[in-house]
Amino acid sequence: MENILITGGTGTLGKAVVRRLTGDGREVRVLSRRSGPSGEAERFVGDLRTGAGIAEAVSGVDTIVHCATTLGRDDVRTTRLLAEAARRGGAKPHLLYISIAGIDVIPLPYYRVKLATEHVVRNSGLPWTVLRATQFHDLVARFFSVQRALPITAALSGVRFQPVDVRVVADRMAALAEAGESGRAPDLGGPEIRTMADLARAYRARPVVSVPLPGRTMRGFRAGGNLVPDNAVDGPTFEDFLAGR
């Protein structure tokens, strides 16, 4: 039976991928910096920043689903370390990486790191797949949640999002893990394209103030660089996500 390692398996997406793959009866390992329960998955304690425990975690696996992130601080180095450990194991597992739609056209610093990390994956010497997805419902909701103490909600003027449910992304990641090397997989986006102001009103019924911001990054968002209208998939809408929290 195929053995799959999931890095970042205790994060938002990682947990959803673990549930999906263990539900399919796969042998799943979770890489985490801390010990603890992982449901039906076997937990390996390791740290991608130092390399501790990584050789043991990748030993004998057929696929690595790479969901771990340092939020841009160290993603390139940690992904390179992961690939090197996998190559040293001799089995050359399939390396599947989750990325973000629009990172090649929006010059956000974190997006530049994700793009550089994609380059590491493509040149890892391993069979590889990269899936880019639009923003998760959770992230969009977080934009508004941090403003909960304010009497209004601020939204970026002219910016649209195509939020996608994390379970939909997990389903696609599981399918790609089972399919084997696919290279650059088709991007994945949520079922609706909505203005940030519209999403803000859906999140909380109170006044919304549109805030115009200058700069190349905002121009990229206003131009729709973060959207994939031709790759929308059915799934829960933002309102469905809010109702199910």
CA distance 19 to 25: 10
Mean pLDDT score across all residues of the chain: 94
pLDDT band of 245, cuts 50, 70, 90? confident
Percent of the chain with pLDDT over 90: 88
pLDDT band of 163, cuts 50, 70, 90? very high
* Other beta carbons within 10 Å of 52: 12
Q: What is the token pair recorded at 110?
A: 């974190």
Percent of the chain with pLDDT over 70: 98
Predicted TM-score (pTM) of the model is 0.94
Predicted local distance difference test score (pLDDT) of residue 90: 76
Predicted local distance difference test score (pLDDT) of residue 38: 65
pLDDT band of 72, cuts 50, 70, 90? confident
pLDDT at 39 over 80: no
Domain boundaries, the chain: 3-244
pLDDT at 24 over 80: no
pLDDT band of 34, cuts 50, 70, 90? confident
pLDDT at 93 over 70: yes
Q: What is the mean pLDDT of residues 160-171?
A: 98
pLDDT band of 229, cuts 50, 70, 90? very high
Predicted local distance difference test score (pLDDT) of residue 189: 98
- Comparing 39-53, 112-126, 171-185, which segment has the lowest mean pLDDT? 39-53
What CATH number does the domain located at 3-244 have?
A: 3.40.50.720
pLDDT band of 141, cuts 50, 70, 90? very high
H/E/C letters for each residue in the chain? CCEEEEECCCCHHHHHHHHHHHHCCCEEEEEECCCCCCCCCEEEECCCCCCCCHHHHHCCCCEEEECCCCCCCCHHHHHHHHHHHHHHCCCCCEEEEEEECCCCCCCCHHHHHHHHHHHHHHCCCCCEEEEEECCEHHHHHHHHHCCCCCCCEEEECCCEECCECHHHHHHHHHHHHHHCCCEECCCEECCCCEEHHHHHHHHCCCCEEEECCCCHHHHHHHCCCCCCHHHECCCCCHHHHHHHC
